[in-house]
Amino acid sequence: MGKVVRVGSRGTSRRVVEKQADDWTGTAYRDLQKKRKEVAGDRYISMGRGTSRIKFSDIAETSGRTSGKGMWVSTGRGTGRRKIK
């Protein structure tokens, strides 16, 4: 991708390295999460303060963020508000 200066050892050393592409966001990361979910499908995870457990494969797929249209959002230090259009 490009050359980047990395600082190490409490700021006393510097080295120039090749920067790799970020793979922790977007469709590439979503595909990685799906693969990990398939591999760990029969494992159990704790829910509800540790009082219940479900299989990892039983978790539903999320479709994205819901629209905030028509909702109120606080502004400043919580003293004002505005409506999302």
- Per-residue model confidence (pLDDT) at position 21: 80
List phi, psi (to 5°) of 20. Answer: -90, 160
The Cα–Cα gap between 41 and 35 comes to: 10
Domain boundaries, the chain: 1-57
**pTM for this model (two decimals):** 0.49
Top-confidence residue, 61 or 51: 51
Most confident of 21-25, 28-32, 35-39, 71-75: 71-75
